[in-house]
A and B are shown apart, each in its own frame.
Chain A
């Protein structure tokens, strides 16, 4: 959101992205550069361009990787992340009624509780990587963890 504020917000599609919001998300992950947004180079957006340069800094253009960090010290295996994750809900039907998914886990399953602690299985199927549009901003596991053991970050 911080980055989006400084974009032209015209949704001109000159960068190849459908909206300015999508461009901002890709900019955050390092998939595109600031210069890819051609209207920004115009003189009237000079201030915004400089501000963006300051925000992104030297990391510009380096592709960032999604990282979901589960703190096993804090986790008590309540399994809220397993139930609430939309990817788990689609591929593991038992989670719909709050039950533990089948074992061995399904290929798409993201979270699993094993030995009283939460485990991350297949991060490549996370909505933040696979989904399109608004679904890409999914943060449910981080939001609803009562122990605040899950942290989502781009490294």
Chain B
């Protein structure tokens, strides 16, 4: 029995202080990880783990060998002219690289989960610019934390523990000097960690943009706060919020799904980024930065890999083995039925996407590379099992503050299952050979 520190790949925080006890085959104990992380380690022996490659024959899934399943997948890809690749946010950067290479070879359209998530912020930031920060900077220096439409206490359980309650190095105390402001229409669990000095702002749903516009105006012209308040927030609270925003030495705005899922999300993000810049120009002693709260552990990774290769962070369309300009996203592609087969890697679009889209996705041949059963695995035509990245295979992953962290292989996968990267490389090799 060996106990060692390891990186947890349960969520995008990628905690590097988890202690695991292992005998080389199984993981006996996980110490320090939250419930999400523990479930991730439990997945090795979970009931819903996929251990054998499966092919659908006469509407029934049959066990086959790995070679057969890969051959069948290649034959489907060869027949198709408009393949769709989706997922990649729970794989290593190496697998994402292989995925983009495959998309280029087969003239496909590749997209990751970030297109319906935090990728929007990165996309907007190309026009406006963005101030980023890192977790260790928040731990040691931050004095203001704003959770904007984010329920960090439940989505990423250990985030508040790390950034809000830790003491840090350059401050005398921890929780006492860090002010927490929560802006959310719903009273979530994140409201439960509030102290007396913190501000809880229950905003009216869908009115974030009004609040941001008022704050922007107030930054330019003093005393322009409306007497009746805005978006359900009264005048005094608005003034306190502004005082904190302009007076913080090192403030962080954590943006969550609440901002992104509104109908005019791109406008909201643009206004928010402009507000942050306006404050940073005006403020002399400190700055405000943005941190994006994504869920999947390597969602930021795909953005970085795609940016470094293609100069575009998501929704990459290839034609004649070259990237072409296209305004389509995964949603519009499926909606217009502009595809003839799909390769899903490590995600579950059938349950994530609306039913109208899932129905269209199900109608075409679906190849799934994943390690667990999901709604997608029930409708897939070919299922290729993969090793769990971060436990059974290593690789690089990007943390939510855009810092690369190396995941290590801890135990051997069962049945000699291959990693995502190896499976994709095999498909690429097979495709090149048969061409």
Chain A interface (Cβ within 8 Å of chain B)?
Answer: 75-80, 82-84, 89, 94-103, 112-117, 143-148
Contact = CB atoms under 8 A, between A and B. Distances in A.
B30 A116 contact: yes
A83 B192 contact: no
Report the 6 A-B pairs with minimum CB-CB distance, sorted nearest first. A100-B32, A116-B38, A98-B166, A98-B162, A78-B157, A146-B192
Contact of A80 (B17, B29, B165): B165
Chain B CB within 10 Å, residue with most, of A75, A80, A98, A143: A98
Q: Which of A83, A95, A99, A146 has the most CB of B within 10 A?
A: A146
6 contacts: A77-B38, A95-B166, A100-B19, A144-B192, A144-B193, A148-B192
Interface of B: 3, 15, 17-19, 29-39, 136, 139-140, 153-154, 157-158, 160-163, 165-169, 174-175, 189-190, 192-193, 195
Contact of B35 (A76, A84, A96, A112): A76
Given A89-B167, A94-B17, A146-B153, A114 B31 contact: yes
Given A97-B168, A98-B139, A146-B189, A78 B153 contact: yes
Contacts of B39: 116
Given A84-B165, A89-B167, A76 B154 contact: yes
Nearest to A80: B161
Contacts of A143: 195
Given A96-B166, A97-B162, A145-B192, 5 more contacts: A77-B38, A78-B157, A103-B31, A114-B31, A146-B192
Contacts of A84: 165, 175
B35 A116 contact: yes
A113 B34 CA distance: 7
B31 A99 contact: no
B157 A76 contact: yes
A100 B193 contact: no
Nearest to A113: B32
Contacts of A103: 3, 19, 31-32
Nearest to B15: A100
Nearest to B30: A115
B38 A115 contact: yes
B193 A80 contact: yes
Contacts of A114: 29-31
Contacts of B162: 97-99
Contact of A116 (B33, B161, B163): B33
A148 B18 CA distance: 24
A120 B97 CA distance: 45
A98 B34 contact: no
Nearest to A144: B193
Given A98-B139, A98-B165, A116-B38, A147 B31 contact: no
A96 to B, nearest CB: 5
B171 to A, nearest CB: 11
Give the one of B33, B36, B37, B161 with max A CB within 10 A. B161
Contacts of B17: 94, 99-100
Nearest to B189: A146
Given A144-B193, A146-B190, A79 B166 contact: no
A105 to B, nearest CB: 9
B167 A147 contact: no
A105 B91 CA distance: 34
B417 to A, nearest CB: 25
Contacts of B160: 78, 80, 146
Contact of A79 (B32, B175, B190, B193): B32
B189 A117 contact: no
A70 to B, nearest CB: 14
A147 to B, nearest CB: 6
Contacts of B154: 76, 146
A147 B189 contact: yes
A144 B3 CA distance: 31
A114 B19 CA distance: 10
Nearest to B153: A146
Nearest to B16: A99
B172 to A, nearest CB: 12
B46 to A, nearest CB: 14
Contacts of B36: 76, 116
